[in-house]
Every structure is written in structure tokens, then in C-alpha cells.
Chains A and B, each alone.
Chain A
Amino acid sequence: MSLDLDTAVPPGRHTHRAGHEPAPRRARRTSLTRLDLRYSPYLYVLPFFVLFAIFGAYPIVYTAWIALTDRSPMNATISFVGPDNFVELITNDPQFWNAVYNTLGMFVFATVPQLLLALLLANALNRRIPGLTFFRMAIAMPIITSTAVVALVFSVIYGRDFGLVNWGLDLLGVGPVDWRASRLASWFAISTMVDWRWVGYNALIYLAAMQSISKDMYEAASLDGASRTRQFWSITIPQLRPTIIFTVIISTIGGLQLFTEPLLFTSGSGGLSGGTEGQFQTITMYLLDVMNNRFRWGYAGAVSLVLFILIALFSLINYLLARRISSDR
């Protein structure tokens, strides 16, 4: 067993060697060293696993159990109901599917332009231009704002009566839009909040990857007469493939958890309902609605699990899509 022998000299060998230290003391030190070598690594990673077991793994397992019961603070006894919660959720809960529809819709609305804009911005940042640090800082600045701040500021910008966007539309001769009233308008407004915060961040990630592409490829392509647009699509995008896949997956995981922006898009209490008809209620909002307002805990467990499955599923789908789209054609 060659376990943890990091030392040049295996500790066992020490004992056979004649030294001038008194034998018992030397033996004690050696066994201490051995203990140290063997167990220190576990000790150093242990804190993470203790916390994860209590606050990560245990709740997940418990969610799976609770989803099979009708547990509620309003029920005196808890009974096992098997898959009933899942059956109801999937076959007989239009509000849940409405939330799924909204979440996926806003995810597409937000993510596609977000990653495209980030790519183009990164491409612009990758030029030899003066003031590069300034541009990078300015474009990255939105990441210091919290989602709550973004939501509050944009809620006013998208105000129906005095909002900036409606004022701009008015200048163009377009009538005011009630941004909270319809599905499409609210999706659009909320997606721009997400995009504003994340485009710069993704642009930085793309920029980093672009800088590691060899400049020779571009020069060769340019000698062959390839235009810059052509170079962008035929060199940059395929070379960025792993990075694009990475950002797509991160955006999927984050996008399907969308919560703060739609919650704070309505002022007053009761933001969890996501508009008068639930036109921008997301899955996470629905989850808290079930948990805190209807007190159907077992059912909330089922919602949690299905949300997780959806995230995993769409991460996989988007992974395959991104791999395909950004591949060498």
C-alpha cells in the first residue's frame, strides 16, 4: 500500500536507522509524523463535508421523502401518499405548467441575446484599442449590483405612467406599453434586467478565451482573403466552443432559478403571484407560494424535485445544442 508517503524518505525507514536521539522519543515523533501524513488531508477537507452533509445532502434526501407525503403544518398527522403529489403536479396543475412556461420563455428571451451580445462585445474588446481597461471596467460594472437593485431600478424604468422606456416609445410615436399586463411585455422587461446584469460578465469570459486563440490563425485566414466576419464565425466561434458550452450551462442553471427580478417587478406585497394572471410567475416563485402561502409541504417537495429535474434536463439539452451550433462547419 503506497498510501500517503509524500516524504522523500518513507517514515518507516527512520526506525531502522541509527540516530543520536533517544530511541523512544524518536519513535514517538515518527508515529506522530505518520498520523499527520495519513490523516491531515482528511482533516482539511472534512469541514466542507460536514457542512454539506447537514445543509446540503440531508435536505435533498429529506425533500425526496417529504414529496411522498402529505405533510403540512395544518395536518395533525403525516401520511404516506406515494407518487400522488407528482401525479397531481404533472397531470392536474395548470398553474405549475404556467410557471414552467414562463420560466422557459424568459430563459430563452434572456439567454439568447445575452450570449450573442456578449460574444460581439468580447470581439470588440479583443481589438487593439486605447482605454481598454476603462472599457472592461465599465462593461463589467453591472455585476456589482444585486438582483434586487436591478429589479427595483428597472421596475421604474418600465413604469407604465412615468417610465423611461414608455417615454422613449412616446417620442417614436408608439403608445405606452403596460409592461406588467401582458405575458410578452413582462417577459421582455424581465429579460432585459437579466441581460443588463450578465452581458458584461459573459463578455469577459469570452474575451479571456478569445485572447488564448493563436493570432496566427487569423493572419493566415486573412492572407487567404477571409473577411473579419468570416473569421469571427469560422475561427473565433469554433475555438470558443468549450467556453460557449460553459456559459450556456451556467446560464441554464441560473435562468431556470429566476426569482428576484419577477418578484420585485410588482411593488406592494404579494409579488409571489407574478402578475394578476401569473403571467410572469416562475417555478421558484410558485414553489414558495405552495410552501409559504398554501402550506402544502409535501407538494412543495415535489415541485422542488421536478424543478431540479428540469434544470438537469435542460442543461443536457442545451449542452448538446451548444455543442452542435458552435461546432466547426
Chain B
Amino acid sequence: MTTTTLAPVPPAPQSRHSSERLWKGTPLTWFGLVLGVILSLFPFYWMIVVASRSNDAANAWPPPFLPGGNLGENIGRVLSNTDANIVKGLLNSVLVSGTITVATVFFGSLAGFAFAKLRFRGKNALLLIILASMMVPIQLGVLPLYLLMAKLEWLNTMPSVIVPFLISGFGIFMMRQYAEQAVPDELIEAARVDGCSTWRIYWHVVAPALRPAAAVLGLLTFMEQWNQFFWPFVVLADPANPTVQISLRTLNSAYFADTSQIFAGTLIATLPLFVVFVLFGRQIIGGIMEGAVKS
């Protein structure tokens, strides 16, 4: 495989190896990184190119490589597409992702605090259940869950994609990890001696200390929920009340594939997370990397 060329080349034979030299990027390092960046970014660029072309130009040979002038028109067409309901989809996605994010951060930090800093019987067993719950794919219970939603009359409404996901095991774990090292036991004991109730300790001592981790958890949760597809596909079958990802699916299942309109849709669906990434990319990347070291 050609990709193995990315591995570092042997250093020139010599007696002195300064650490500076050992960690220097070789031309191959640069080649690999630049190629990686181009491959990572090209589909985004391509999205803009096709979304800004007329359909004839998008389906041309050779394919277009530069953006055209039809972006506004294509966006207008997708926004007014009465089958896909993408405006409603966007609003629903904001509602769903926002609600789940707030709940995940709140309940995650509360339970994470309890697991990290409070003593109670059965703690380890409960923690194990949470860990196990993270390994279970939603497919395992998809049919009964669907029937439950039907019984609750939640099909094709937002509670069906919000309520089951309000609290995540991952969120509890992440906050527990962080609370363990960020909140000193002495601080909690001091607050107890001063007569603070557990709730007051959480609210005034622990919650402020957990803020950095809470921000990262919030960002990761929001991104994950915004991009959710499988379960919404199951319970939001009626295209009149979709999330934005389901709107995209509706666009794609039209009889005539309107490529530039579909791409305008993907652009709109990605834009909110693009903004989030530009503003908070460092925190998101830090969160992914930090989680990796601890797990």
C-alpha cells in the first residue's frame, strides 16, 4: 500500500542525535499532512461548488471545479421545497439537540459528581450498569422502543427523539472522570462542616469547577445529536415533521435527483456545526484527545 510511505524515513547515519533533530518534520511528514488536509477539506469545497451551480452544470462532463453563481437560487429552492420541509427540520433539530445537550450536561454533572465524590452503597455496581448501557446498540431494542413510542403517541413528534436520549452514560462517565481530579475532597468536606447540604455543595462548589468539562460535553453532545440519523429515520417517517437530517433523506428520495438542490441542503445542514467548529474547534479537539487518554 502506498500509504506506508507516510512512515518516517531513517535518519542520516551520524553520531550526534539532538532531540531537535529527532522530532523534526521530514518532507514525507509534510507530504502526508498536506495530502491529509486536502482530502479532509475537499468534500466541503465540493459541496460549495455543486451547491452554487445550476443542475446542468453540476451534471456536466468534465465535472465543474469552481463555484458558480447559483448558490442563492439553490438555497431558495431547497428552503421552499414543500416535501423536505427543511426550515422546520432545522428548527426541530435546534430544539432536539439543544434540549438533549442541556439535559445531558445537567444530569451528567449531577450523577458524575455523585459517583466521583459521594459515598453510597452499590456505587460500583451502578457504575457498571451505566458502562454496560453504553455498549448496547439501539438496534437491539428498536422494535419495542418503536412500539412504545406508538403507544405514547409520540411517533412523528419530537419527544420520540428527545426523551430517550436526555441522559447519556457517556456524559456521566466523562463528568465523573473530570470531577475526580478537579474537585478536591477537602473543599467538599469544608463545605459540609459549614453546614452545606449536598445540593448546595453541588450547585456552589462542584458545578463551577466542572464548567470546562461541561462545555466540552455540551459541544460533543450537540454535534452528535445534530447528526443523529438512524432513530429519527425510524420514528419520524412523516416528512411533514422532520429533523434536518430527515429532510436531507427526503430530498434524496425524490424521483428526480436534483443534485444542486440536495447539495444546497447538505450545506445548510452542515453550516451550524461548521460555525460551532470554527468557534470552539480547539475545545472539541481537546475534549476528544483528553477523553482518549483517560479511557
Contacts and interface: CB of A to CB of B under 8 A. Distances in A.
A109 B151 CA distance: 41
A261 B20 CA distance: 44
B209 interface: no
Interface string A125-164: 1111100010111111111111111101111110001111
A77 interface: no
Nearest to B29: A124
Interface residues of A, number: 117
Interface in A1-52: 3-9, 33, 36-38, 40-42, 44-45, 47-49, 51-52
A326 to B, nearest CB: 15
B157 to A, nearest CB: 15
A63 interface: yes
Contacts of A5: 119
Given A55-B163, A152-B262, A291 B137 contact: no
A168 to B, nearest CB: 10
B25 A124 contact: yes
Contact of B36 (A139, A145, A229, A232): A139
A94 interface: no
Nearest to B229: A260
A62 B141 CA distance: 8
Given A59-B144, A227-B10, A40 B199 contact: yes
A215 B274 CA distance: 35
Contacts of A161: 59, 61
A218 B199 CA distance: 49
Interface in B123-140: 123, 126, 129-130, 133, 135-137, 139-140
Interface of A, secondary structure class, is helix
A62 B144 CA distance: 6
Interface stretch (A79-87, A179-187, A263-271): A263-271
A196 B39 CA distance: 8
Nearest to A284: B139
Contacts of A156: 50, 58, 259, 262-263
Given A7-B192, A204-B288, A260-B229, A40 B118 contact: yes
Interface in B39-64: 39-41, 43-44, 46-47, 50, 58-63
- Summarize B's interface: helix, strand, loop or mixed: helix
Contact of B140 (A37, A60, A205, A215): A60
A169 to B, nearest CB: 12
Interface in B256-281: 257, 259, 262-263, 265-266, 269-270, 273-274, 276-277, 281
A4 B285 CA distance: 38
B198 A259 contact: no
Nearest to B166: A51
A201 interface: yes
Interface stretch (B73-81, B105-113, B210-218): B105-113
Contacts of A205: 288-289, 292
B248 A268 contact: no
B158 interface: no
A144 B25 contact: no
Contacts of B1: 113, 116
B293 A209 contact: yes
Contact of A120 (B7, B129, B202, B285): B7
Contacts of B197: 33, 36, 40
A229 B10 CA distance: 6
B183 interface: no
A219 interface: yes
Interface string B195-237: 0011100100000000000000000000100111110011000
A308 B118 contact: no
Count chain A CB atoms within 10 A of each CB in B23, B36, B119, B257 and give the residue with the most.
B36
Contact of A308 (B11, B140, B145, B259): B140
A66 interface: yes
Contacts of B262: 152, 156
A9 B189 CA distance: 10
A300 B288 contact: no
Given A139-B37, A291-B146, 9 more contacts: A51-B163, A124-B33, A127-B29, A137-B281, A162-B61, A199-B36, A207-B289, A267-B254, A307-B139
Interface of B: 1, 3-4, 6-11, 13, 17, 19-20, 22-26, 29-30, 32-33, 36-37, 39-41, 43-44, 46-47, 50, 58-63, 107, 110-111, 113-115, 118-121, 123, 126, 129-130, 133, 135-137, 139-148, 163-164, 166-167, 169, 172, 188-189, 192-193, 197-199, 202, 223, 226-230, 233-234, 245, 248-249, 252-255, 257, 259, 262-263, 265-266, 269-270, 273-274, 276-277, 281-282, 284-285, 288-290, 292-293, 295
Nearest 3 pairs of A and B residues by beta carbon: A59-B141, A228-B8, A227-B10
Interface of A: 3-9, 33, 36-38, 40-42, 44-45, 47-49, 51-52, 54-56, 58-60, 62-63, 66, 113, 116-117, 120-121, 123-129, 133, 135-150, 152-157, 161-164, 167, 196, 199-201, 204-209, 212, 215, 218-219, 222-223, 225, 227-232, 243, 246, 253, 257, 259-260, 263-264, 267-269, 271, 284, 287-288, 291, 297, 300-301, 304-305, 307-308, 311
27 contacts: A7-B189, A36-B198, A40-B199, A44-B118, A52-B169, A58-B148, A63-B143, A121-B36, A129-B30, A135-B37, A138-B36, A141-B40, A144-B223, A145-B273, A146-B270, A148-B229, A153-B263, A153-B266, A157-B43, A161-B59, A162-B61, A204-B285, A219-B19, A268-B254, A287-B139, A288-B234, A307-B137
